[in-house]
Amino acid sequence: MTKLIKAEFYRVTHSGIFFVVFVVFGLLPLAMPFISLADMNEVNMFYILLAYAQGGGFLISGYVGIVLSAMISNMFQNRTYYYEIMNGANTHHIILSKIIVYNCITAAVLIIPAIITFAIMGNIYPLGDLKQLWLTIILGIIIILNFACFTIFIRHILGGPVLIYTISMLPTMAYMTISELTDGYKWLTDALSYMPQIQIMEFVKPEYETNFIIKVIGSFFVSFIGLYALTYVSYKKKNFR
């Protein structure tokens, strides 16, 4: 599988402008705390993370949905993954190598710069409840990786970047609209809150209920296992193996 990981990483970093776009625009969500908190007097790390989640979360949805999906689409359009099949690679290895490569790229672009930025800000602004801060960061990482995996799997199963963007953004739009409405739709907002697109905007809380933590971690595992199985079946079917 190491061969496949190296090959895919080489292809992504040398193929077209998607990687550059992903790096440049992927860093944009980090600007949100600076923009939102510029005129606030009392700032601590909780507010910084809140500003990142509420403003940056929306951007992350877009970038993971569109650019990450476009990077994977390139592989399908050029049929370069055929080389992996024709070399006798195991289907699990093919899928897992993509998961590893794209999650590493996502981590390098969205998670690591964010942690470095927050670490620097932590030296400037009060940290608040340290345990709460760590929990927030860990949940944020799980949600972002869940969203990246969701995009990778859905792109394997379904069509092009536009469809993935729609799938990525539709729950966000629906959630934002419905949450303004009456309690009659609470079941729908509850259902949508299992999706990483929604969790990314909602994960910063002054205090966590156990239910929420279980929901974030649980939805990661359920969605990973479920979508992995679907991707495997789809991969086999698409390649008539």
Partner 1 sequence: MNVIELKNISKTYGKKTVVDNFSLNVEKGHICGLIGPNGAGKTTIMKMMAGLAAPSKGEMSFFGKSDNLDQFRNRMAFMLEAPIIDKSMNARQNMEYVRYVKGVADKKKIDEMLDFVGLHDVGKKAAGKFSLGMTQRLGIAMALLTEPEIMVLDEPVNGLDPEGIVEIRLMLKKLSEEKNVTIIISSHILSELSELCTDFSIINHGKQIENLSREELMAKCRSYYAIRTNDINRTAAVIEDKLGTNQYKVIHGDEIRLFDHLDNIEKVSKTITDNGLILTKFISEGESLEDFYLSKVGAEND
Residues that bind partner 1 (CB under 8 A): 3-4, 6-7, 10-11, 14-16, 74, 78-80, 82-90, 239-241
- Cα gap 10→15, rounded to integer Å: 8
102, two tokens: 């794209």
Identity of the amino acid at 86: M
Q: How many helices (H) and strands (E) does the chain have?
A: 14, 0
233, two tokens: 């079946």
- Cα gap 55→23, rounded to integer Å: 18
Least distance (Å) from partner 1 to the CB of residue 74?
7
Phi, psi dihedrals of residue 166, rounded to the nearest 5°: -60, -45
Least distance (Å) from partner 1 to the CB of residue 103?
19
Least distance (Å) from partner 1 to the CB of residue 91?
10
Q: CA angle, 47 as apex, 205 and 189 as ends, to 5°?
A: 35
Least distance (Å) from partner 1 to the CB of residue 2?
9
